[in-house]
Structure formats: C-alpha cells, structure tokens
Amino acid sequence: MHEIGDIIRVNDKMQRGYSYRLEASIGEDFADGFYPDLTPRQMLEMGVFEGKYLNDCKQEFPTDWFSKAKISAHPDETLNYFQTKSRQPLSVWREKGWIIGPDPRGWFQWYCRYYLGRRLDSVDEVQIKRWRNFSRHAGQIKKNCEPGDLSCRPRQRQALLQWAYDPFI
C-alpha cells in the first residue's frame, strides 16, 4: 500500500538509485486546474504507448495498475485502444526537450508518479502546463468530427488517451 510519507525507491532499466517521498494520497490533492479524465490504471488497461511503457518498473507502482494492463515486450500498435501508431521514439522526446526533471520516460511517467502522490513544484508546474496545452487536440476533434464517430481522427484520439484526456468526445 502506498501512503503519504512512503519513500519510493526506483531501480529499473532507465533509472537507478532514484527515490522520492509521497506527499499526497494516491489520486488526491491535485493542483488547481489539473483534472485528468483518466487514471494511470485506466490508461494502461485501455492500451497506451503500444504496450511498451512501464514494463520494467512495475514494482514502483500499485500492482492493480497492471492487473489488466496491455503491456508488451515490443511495441504493438494493436494494443493501443485505437489500434494506431501513436508514439515517437524516446530519442525524439529528448531532442525536443520533452523529458523534464527526474522522469526519463516523459509525461506519463511524471503523471503516474504525481497520481501516486509525488510532488515536485517546479516539475509539476511545467508538466501540468503541457497537459493543459494538449487540450487543443480535443478542440480539433470536436471541430472536425461528428460526436461519437470514433473512426474520425484515431491518432489524435489515441494521443488524447495517452495524456489522460477523454478520447470519446
């Protein structure tokens, strides 16, 4: 069980010797204006990042997040909810400056740690701003698709899912 005050120690393929303290209860005390539609567990169950995410760091997060998660040793776009390729290589993320703070896997890793209860004010502020800016994709779907037509803009819907937005608009 993860509780306020717990120290989480991380030793996986991308990060060794990192630790953080939980400052908030799981799924609670989010910053004002940060209201994701989906939990990390829901996202993993629905299929994100072609199943190739958090595979080697399950011990960091609650086991129930992975009980129905769609995970694969190799990227498999059929595991994505919208069954479309929707991710770029980590090298592109680094090149574009999308890796921020102590989260070498990017936004979703930050979100999982934030949801779990880690708080890092300067990093949280930047990542929440990035999340807010991503809402423009929901606007594009609303503008260009008939309500309920999930075949319209599937890559954009998958991207919304991967940013914890409701892709079923």
- Does 89 have pLDDT greater than 80? no
Report pLDDT digits (tens) over 42-86. Answer: 999 999 999 888 888 889 999 999 999 999 999 899 999 999 987
Token pair for 51 = 């199943």
Give the structural domain span for 89.
7-162
Report pLDDT digits (tens) over 7-49. Answer: 999 999 999 999 999 999 999 999 999 999 999 999 999 999 9
What is the pLDDT at residue 52?
Answer: 87
Report pLDDT digits (tens) over 130-157. Answer: 999 999 999 999 999 999 899 999 999 9
Asked whether residue 168 is assigned to any structural domain, the reply reads no
CB 87 within 8 A of CB 75: yes
Angle at which helix 136-144 crosses helix 121-134, to 10 degrees, equals 10
Asked whether residue 24 is assigned to any structural domain, the reply reads yes
Asked whether residue 150 is assigned to any structural domain, the reply reads yes
CB 106 within 8 A of CB 93: yes
To the question of pTM greater than 0.85 for the whole model, the response is yes
Asked whether residue 41 is assigned to any structural domain, the reply reads yes
In total, how many domains does the chain have? Answer: 1
